[in-house]
Amino acid sequence: SATTPIRATLFPGDGIGPEIAESVKQVFQAAEVPIEWEEHYVGTTIDPRTQSFLTWESLESVRKNRVGLKGPMATPIGKGHRSLNLTLRKELNLYANVRPCYSLPGYKTRYDNVDLITIRENTEGEYSGLEHQVVRGVVESIKIITRQASLRVAEYAFHYAKAHGRERVSAIHKANIMQKTDGLFLKCCREVANKYPEIVYEEVVIDNCCMMLVKNPALFDVLVMPNLYGDIISDLCAGLIGGLGLTPSCNIGEGGIALAEAVHGSAPDIAGKNLANPTALLLSSVTMLRHLDLHDKADGIQNAILNTIAEGKYRTADLGGSSKTTEFTKAIIDHL
């Protein structure tokens, strides 16, 4: 048929990024997904318009297409320029990062009933990039919490819960210590919770939340939290189901932008060795397809991934298998 393809931005990213992005491209082609990728690589010099290695053109591409998929981008520690991920999140106002995490049928961990959605505030908190040395030997990092961003992410979490038939939203915090910042975050969550009486609302202190998640993840449903807590909790959740190679995410921005990305980083320890598990990025691409209402394609690809893992014949090393990235990808294509 002569349907016009949808244009989407693709950042293959660093480390294992290009290898797992290649998997996505191949699976999309085999599944005849009507998407035309606009590929953008991270630049090798700082673009003054973004103050980072991210090019202005690549940001424009996401702004125009409204949808995209990004591989991991490495952030060298202490190099004195803006993190690429922070730049993307701030420039595109990607205010909520949605991280679904569910047990994969046939892949055994301590639990078989994990079904969690972490919703991470994505633009402020400790990630505001406001760090400086006060005097020698004393540095300061400023945690920003605003009413606007807190209400926006809380609103997104409750809306998500309602739209997806979820029953409970837990706000994760440390307001006993961070009284002003996390206190404001909670106040905003309560305000929004009042508008959703059909959804159970609770507040859980982050350290206790970690313990409860490890002991019994079924206690939770949708979790909403400030930026840093979301970073930490979502890796913990990934651990419950088998690791970072499995968990997808999608960044939601103002005006309906959706930039999907895996939760994991560039995995320099296995980069370039055809060892990476492409599942996390593939499942992220599935969230992108759902955002575009391409549900039949999304279902087809998601089932092929889950069936390949469940069958167990082809698994990457992180799941105890011996398949290369390319072999595992081919097995998924065979399952389509």
Instruction: Summarize as ranges the residues that interact with Mg ion (CB under 5 A).
Output: 231
User: How does strand 94-102 pair with strand 6-11?
Assistant: unpaired
3-state class of 21 per DSSP? helix
Q: Give 36's contacts (C-beta < 8 A, 6+ positions apart).
A: 5, 6, 7, 8
3-state class of 281 per DSSP? helix
Pick one of Mg ion, ligand NAI, none as the site partner of residue 264 (Cβ within 5 to 8 A by kind): ligand NAI
Q: Which stretch binds ligand NAI (CB under 6 A): 96-104, 200-208, 220-228, 276-284?
A: 276-284
Backbone angles phi, psi at 240, to 5 degrees: -70, -25
Nearer of residues 231 and 318 to Mg ion, judged by Cβ? 231
HSE-up (13 A, CA, CB side) for residue 286: 22
Task: Indicate the residue whose CB is closest to ligand NAI.
Answer: 265
Does 209 interact with ligand NAI (rule: CB under 6 A)? no
Does 261 interact with ligand NAI (rule: CB under 6 A)? yes
Which secondary-structure segment (H or E) carries 152?
A: helix 147-163
Minimum distance of Mg ion from residue 126's CB (angstroms): 13
> Are the beta carbons of 327 and 314 closer than 8 angstroms?
yes
> What span, in angstroms and rounded, lies between the C-alpha atoms of 336 and 334?
6
Number of residues that bind ligand NAI (CB under 6 A): 20
Pick one of Mg ion, ligand NAI, none as the site partner of residue 302 (Cβ within 5 to 8 A by kind): none
Does 12 interact with ligand NAI (rule: CB under 6 A)? no
Which two structure tokens, joined as six digits, stand for 235? 């890796």
Nearer of residues 221 and 261 to ligand NAI, judged by Cβ? 261
Does 245 interact with ligand NAI (rule: CB under 6 A)? yes
Please, which of residues 36-95 interact with ligand NAI by CB under 6 A? 72-75, 85
Q: Which of 145, 244, 305, 309 binds ligand NAI (CB under 6 A)?
A: 244
Q: Which stretch binds ligand NAI (CB under 6 A): 216-224, 257-265, 288-296, 298-306?
A: 257-265
Pick one of ligand NAI, Mg ion, none as the site partner of residue 231 (Cβ within 5 to 8 A by kind): Mg ion
> What span, in angstroms and rounded, lies between the C-alpha atoms of 234 and 244?
9
Does 276 interact with ligand NAI (rule: CB under 6 A)? yes
DSSP 215-255: H-GGG-SEEEE-HHHHHHHHHHHHHHHT-TTS-EEEEEETT
Q: Tell me which residues touch ligand NAI (CB under 6 A).
A: 16, 72-75, 85, 244-245, 261, 264-270, 276-277, 280, 318
